Amino acid sequence: MRMLLCCLLLIVTHATAGEYQLGAGDEIQIMVYGEADLTRHIKIDKTGLISFPFLSDIAVLGLTPKALANTIAAGLRGDYLIAPQVSVTIVKYRPFFIHGQVQRPGGYSYQEDLTLDKAIAIAGGLAARASKSAWYITRLVAGEKKVIKAKVTSVILPDDIIEIEQSYF
Question: What whole-number distance in Å separates Cα of residue 88 and Cα of residue 31?
Answer: 7
Q: What is the pLDDT of residue 93?
A: 93
Q: Is residue 19 part of a domain?
A: no
**Residue 78: helix, strand or coil by DSSP?**
coil
Q: Is residue 34 part of a domain?
A: yes
Domain containing residue 62: 27-92
Model confidence over 88-138: pLDDT tens digits? 999 999 999 999 999 999 999 998 899 999 999 999 999 999 999 899 999
Instruction: Report which DSSP code applies to 37.
Output: G
Q: What is the pLDDT of residue 112?
A: 87
Label residues 125-154 b or e (16+ Cβ within 10 Å = b). ebbeebeeebbbbebeeeeeeeebebeeeb
- Amino acid at the residue 163: E
Model confidence over 40-86: pLDDT tens digits? 999 999 999 999 999 999 999 999 999 999 999 999 998 778 999 99
Q: Is residue 11 part of a domain?
A: no
Model confidence over 124-166: pLDDT tens digits? 999 999 999 899 999 988 778 999 999 999 999 999 999 999 9
Of 59, 92, 125, which residue sits at a domain end?
A: 92
Query: Does one domain contain both 105 and 132?
Result: yes
pTM: 0.75
Q: In whole angstroms, what separates CA 15 from the centre of its chain?
A: 14
Q: Is residue 64 part of a domain?
A: yes
Q: Is residue 106 part of a domain?
A: yes
Instruction: Report which DSSP code applies to 125.
Output: S
Q: For the chain, how many structural domains are there in total?
A: 2
Query: Does one domain contain both 108 and 160?
Result: yes
Q: What is the pLDDT of residue 169?
A: 67
Of 62, 92, 122, which residue sits at a domain end?
A: 92
Query: Does one domain contain both 77 and 122?
Result: no
